[in-house]
Structure 1
């Protein structure tokens, strides 16, 4: 893995950590102001949903098959699988990260259930 791949992989791992998932403050450090998500539930989430009442479950998850594609000098696409150790559910994930003045921020995320 090159340095950019390592940095983005660490960021992907950070936002699925249980302590970050339940903390609006910690999650807010990762999410872009314009963040949105197409959840595996079929629901669309926005940054404001995480600022208000939505909290994520503190599930233990593991990433595999991580791949990064550069979309330009300030944007990357990641694709990977997540296995939720708590629920036993697998999903395919994709994220778009944008480079901001404060560092890389998660701009878009999508989860699709898999078998």
Structure 2
């Protein structure tokens, strides 16, 4: 992995950590002000939905098959699969990260329940 890939990978891992997923403050450090997502639950969410009492699932999760594609000098797309160690569920994930004046921020995220298929 190059330096940018390592940085983005670390950011992806950070928002899956249990202590970050249940903390609006810590999650706020990762999410862009314009963040939106389509969750693996089927729901659609915006940044404001994570400001209060909407914590994410704190189950231990692991990223596999991580890839990053540069979309331009200030945007990247990541794709990967998450293994939820508590439930055994696999989800395919994609994220768009934008470089802002205060660092890389998660602009868009999608989670889709997986049958195990991934692009390698």
- Unaligned 5+ segments in structure 1 are none
> In structure 1, what is the equivalent of residue 74 of structure 2?
74
**Matched length:** 115
Per-residue Cα deviation, 1:28-68 (whole angstroms, up to 9, x for no partner):
00000000000111110100000132111211000000000
Aligned-CA RMSD value: 0.6
Select between 20-29 and 50-59 the one with higher mean Cα deviation: 50-59
> In structure 2, what is the equivalent of residue 96 of structure 1?
96
Q: Find the aligned partners of 1:4 and 1:58 in 2 and give their Cα distance.
A: 27
> In structure 1, what is the equivalent of residue 10 of structure 2?
10
Q: Find the aligned partners of 1:113 and 1:10 in 2 and give their Cα distance.
A: 23
Structure 1 residues 1-115: aligned runs within 5 Å: 1-115=1-115
Select between 105-114 and 48-57 the one with higher mean Cα deviation: 48-57
- Unaligned 5+ segments in structure 2 are 116-120
Name the TM-score, length of structure 1 as normaliser.
0.98
Superposed displacement of residue 87, structure 1 = 1.2
Q: Find the aligned partners of 1:27 and 1:86 in 2 and give their Cα distance.
A: 21
Determine helix, strand or coil for the equivalent of 2:48: helix
Query: After the TM superposition, which segments of 4 or more aligned residues of structure 1 sit over 4 Å from their partners?
Result: none
